[in-house]
Copies of this chain bind each other. A is one copy, B any other.
């Protein structure tokens, strides 16, 4: 089955661009609704960080280290590298007797405007704490201390990544055919869009036990600290705030987006095939409104989907539109 048209961009009353993709909504029994090909294989990228964080909790490492919900949210984050994120990861590592040099995620300039300006104008190079995945890696390091394994926790054969792989295959209920190296150098395992939505449905309706409790704590942490999961101006943070902490959402590179809806026991996963983030943000917004979790009149819906698009003079030149059949 082919990808479906999901998000269109119109200019002067004419279609200018279109984004295709796949989207699936699952409950505990399986697919509730789907667009495109629910069996399409995708890389979840950072959208599955709450899955990668499961071994941190299930192993007892998180409690042994006394991690608090704000840190659990950071372990699921693709953050802006703002001061609040950098400082939190730095403090976390120091409390574990670790440092920035123990990270294996690499460095990049932060998305946060203030921190980016501070580094740019100060002639300061970014460090690994600025990497949007540094919270996830702090979680990997904390699990690694608990396991007492070697320093290269990002290697595919390392116990930390093997634990992440096992958790991933269990919650997606799929055997991963291989893996890719993510931007932060950790392995990323492919799955079907349905497998990812199925996993998110399980986070939405935890079945108790060690795994259920871990899922519940991670979702609650993401919902309680949306600013730690992404940052100011970011879709994940704005959407979670707009939904009053009742829904957890997470973006992934190359235009993946997931949502966890505990009130409805639903999980959502989508992938825009061209990797266009503007479309994955618009599509998850449309699905959240469609499911009644997000008010269509909320400013974030305008910003990500319904507001007229304006040029450098503020002139409205066009708009985003939902393709026919999406989401209804």
Contact surface of A with B, Cβ cutoff 8 Å? 9, 11-20, 41-43, 104-108, 117, 120-121, 131, 177-185, 188, 190, 254-255, 272-276, 279, 311-315, 317-318
Contact = CB atoms under 8 A, between A and B. Distances in A.
Given A120-B117, A190-B14, A318 B180 contact: yes
Contacts of A121: 117, 120-121
Given A13-B178, A14-B41, A16-B180, A131 B312 contact: yes
Nearest to A104: B313
A317 B182 contact: yes
Top 9 A-B residue pairs of the complex, sorted by shortest distance between their CB atoms: A106-B312, A12-B180, A121-B121, A274-B274, A11-B180, A106-B313, A181-B317, A17-B275, A183-B311
A138 to B, nearest CB: 16
Contacts of A18: 273-274
25 contacts: A9-B275, A12-B179, A12-B180, A12-B190, A13-B180, A14-B43, A16-B254, A17-B275, A18-B273, A18-B274, A20-B274, A104-B313, A105-B313, A106-B313, A106-B314, A120-B120, A120-B121, A121-B121, A181-B311, A184-B312, A185-B311, A185-B312, A185-B313, A274-B274, A275-B276
Nearest to A113: B120
Contact of A315 (B177, B185, B254, B317): B185
Contact of A181 (B188, B255, B315): B315
Nearest to A183: B311
A151 to B, nearest CB: 14
A312 B107 contact: yes
B184 A311 contact: yes
Nearest to A272: B274
Nearest to A12: B180
Contacts of A182: 311, 317
A108 B314 CA distance: 12
Given A16-B254, A181-B315, 17 more contacts: A11-B181, A12-B43, A12-B179, A12-B180, A12-B190, A16-B42, A17-B274, A18-B273, A20-B20, A20-B274, A106-B311, A106-B314, A180-B318, A182-B311, A183-B312, A183-B317, A274-B274
Contacts of A12: 43, 178-181, 188, 190
Contacts of A17: 254-255, 273-275
Contacts of A117: 120-121
A282 to B, nearest CB: 12
Contact of A317 (B104, B180, B272, B317): B180
A41 B18 CA distance: 13
A317 B254 CA distance: 14
Contact of A274 (B14, B276, B312): B276
A184 B317 CA distance: 11
